[in-house]
Amino acid sequence: MLKETLTKAFSDQVNKEFYSSYLYLAMSAYAEQTGYKGIANWFFVQAQEEMAHAIHMYQYIMERGATPGFGVIQAPPTTFAGIHDVFAQVLTHEQYVTESINAIATQTMKENDHAGYNFIMWYVDEQVEEEAGINDILAKLSNFGDDPGFLYSLDNELAARVFVNPFP
């Protein structure tokens, strides 16, 4: 059974994943309302992924015979200073999530919970991928973000993203 300390850590992370989903939904709404339907799609898919993370982690707590904790999910910001600002905020948020996931990995090691460590390592890898993808978009925005033609092509590119459940 999952220890109480780790149950709390995983439950807090479930909350953060739900918040991430909510944040990306707010960003999707902002993008759509400012005329970037493709970017809105990218954030909508991102919101679905975060929801899948939350549910996956919740199911893991249950599978380990523990009782998950539930808390308030904070309201996300709804106003942004443009598309570049949105993605800059995504990077800051994901860096925060990475720290949180790493802290859980450290805690599972300290508590000799090998199964928990194995579980959270999937998220450690996932965070590397997420940060790399966002850094890539941010680098393009820094170089070409002032060009309306670039924003048009970025919007088209991000329109192609499709949600694939990582835990089918």
Contact residues toward ligand FEO (CB under 6 A) are 17, 20, 50, 53, 94, 97, 130
Q: Quick check: 52 and 74 in contact, CB under 8 A? A: no
Residue 49: CB minimum distance to ligand FEO, A: 7
Residue 116: CB minimum distance to ligand FEO, A: 17
Please give the Cα distance from 111 to 116 (Å, whole number).
10
**C-beta closer to ligand FEO: residue 14 or 31:** 14
Amino acid at 139: A
Please give the Cα distance from 136 to 151 (Å, whole number).
14
Q: Which of helix, strand or coil describes residue 3?
A: coil
**C-beta closer to ligand FEO: residue 39 or 53:** 53
Does an H or E element contain 135, and which? Answer: helix 114-144
Residue at shortest CB range from ligand FEO: 53
Task: Give phi and psi for 109, each to the nearest 5.
Answer: -65, -45
Residue 41: CB minimum distance to ligand FEO, A: 17
Residue 81: CB minimum distance to ligand FEO, A: 22
Q: Quick check: 138 and 154 in contact, CB under 8 A? A: no
**C-beta closer to ligand FEO: residue 94 or 157:** 94
Please give the Cα distance from 5 to 36 (Å, whole number).
43
**C-beta closer to ligand FEO: residue 125 or 146:** 125
**C-beta closer to ligand FEO: residue 48 or 153:** 48
